């Protein structure tokens, strides 16, 4: 029997159980966010957003990187005042989910639409996600 904490950390264990494949029908739960933050923690930033801001070329390369990696770490350079606005624009333009933003670094997630090509398998949610709008 594998303890629950180790079950979430062991990606091979999650991938072998057919019931653990999660579909993106709603927002991420806290355990899922924690799992994705853990995947991105030791990884260097995949992309850097600099002084030119959100250009069509940047969004195109961001889309390609999301399609191949699913979890993307982005570093904002010299954009201290507009990080949150740029992050929300990236989310709306690409359909990605903002997992976390700490300082000048943000982590995004978007699952591959083809289930066979998915690299990241999220842990199952045991309860429905918290809805702060109520």
Range of the domain at 37: 29-114
The pLDDT of residue 80 is 79
Cβ neighbors of 78 (< 8 A, separation 6 or more) are 50, 51
Residue found under tokens 């930033």: 45
Instruction: For residue 81, tell me if it sits in a domain.
Output: yes
The pLDDT of residue 79 is 77
The pLDDT of residue 27 is 81
Instruction: For residue 45, tell me if it sits in a domain.
Output: yes
The pLDDT of residue 89 is 94
The pLDDT of residue 26 is 61
**H/E stretch holding 54:** none
Q: Which of 29, 39, 20 is nearest to 115 (CA)?
A: 20
Instruction: For residue 34, tell me if it sits in a domain.
Output: yes
CATH of the domain at 60: 3.30.110.60
Ranges in the chain, pLDDT < 50: 1-25
The pLDDT of residue 123 is 85
Q: In angstroms, rounded to a whole number, what is the distance separating the alpha carbons of residues 56 and 44? A: 24
């Amino acid at each position: 029997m594998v303890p629950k904490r180790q079950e979430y950390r062991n990606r091979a264990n999650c991938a072998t159980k057919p019931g653990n494949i999660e579909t993106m029908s709603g927002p991420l739960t806290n355990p899922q966010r924690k799992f994705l933050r853990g995947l991105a923690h030791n990884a260097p930033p995949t992309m850097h957003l600099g002084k030119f801001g959100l250009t069509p070329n940047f969004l195109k390369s961001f889309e390609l990187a999301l399609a191949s990696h699913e979890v993307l770490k982005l570093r904002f350079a010299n954009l201290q005042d507009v990080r949150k606005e740029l992050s929300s624009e990236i989310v709306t333009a690409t359909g990605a989910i903002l997992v976390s933003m700490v300082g000048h670094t943000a982590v995004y997630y978007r699952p591959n639409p083809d289930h066979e090509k998915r690299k990241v398998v999220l842990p199952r949610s045991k309860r429905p996600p918290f809805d702060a709008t109520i």
